[in-house]
């Protein structure tokens, strides 16, 4: 148990007596992001959290992953895509994947499952903290953009009013020059 536990419990609204991060995560709106963050932390050259998408597209509503998530409440149901072409990031950028790369990814995946279920919850806490920071940063950015949009005042004009303004501006200039 790390020093950030009480703070995380308070953020997620769990009971003060429960220090199990999996229990806390189950009460949290972004709980499905924890395992991918842990996998990204374990294998950053093979898996990037920033490339994950957590929204459900309309055309994917019938997929097993979404059905498990919606109807059976299995919140750790994912689709992991692999490419034979290679990576577009990190030290493997521009190279084709090899059998060794896929084996390394499988090993990292299994190690992450072990971390998820291990009595040592430090990697789970670290992932929860990182996901929380990302969510808060995204919320601050949305609020900043919303605030900057609301500060701009646009006056609707039509072509006729623009013509009248130009004519009156010309008249004023003509008066000033005589």
Tell me the catalytic residues: 81
Contact 65, 79 (CB under 8 A): yes
Q: Report the alpha-carbon distance of residue 52 to residue 64 in Å, rounded.
A: 18
């Amino acid at each position: 148990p790390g020093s950030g536990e009480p703070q995380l419990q308070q953020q997620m609204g769990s009971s003060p007596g429960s220090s199990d991060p999996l229990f806390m995560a189950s009460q949290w709106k972004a709980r499905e992001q924890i395992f991918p963050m842990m996998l990204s932390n374990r294998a950053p050259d093979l898996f990037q959290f920033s490339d994950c998408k957590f929204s459900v597209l309309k055309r994917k509503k019938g997929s097993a992953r979404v059905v498990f998530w919606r109807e059976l409440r299995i919140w750790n149901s994912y689709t992991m895509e692999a490419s034979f072409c290679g990576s577009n990031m990190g030290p493997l950028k521009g190279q084709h994947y090899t059998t060794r790369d896929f084996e390394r990814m499988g090993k990292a995946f299994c190690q992450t499952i072990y971390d998820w279920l291990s009595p040592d919850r430090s990697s789970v806490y670290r992932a929860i903290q990182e996901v929380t920071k990302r969510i808060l940063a995204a919320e601050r950015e949305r609020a900043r953009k919303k605030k900057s949009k609301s500060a701009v005042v646009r006056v609707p004009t039509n072509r006729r009013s623009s013509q009248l303004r130009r004519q009156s501006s010309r008249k004023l200039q003509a008066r000033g020059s005589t």
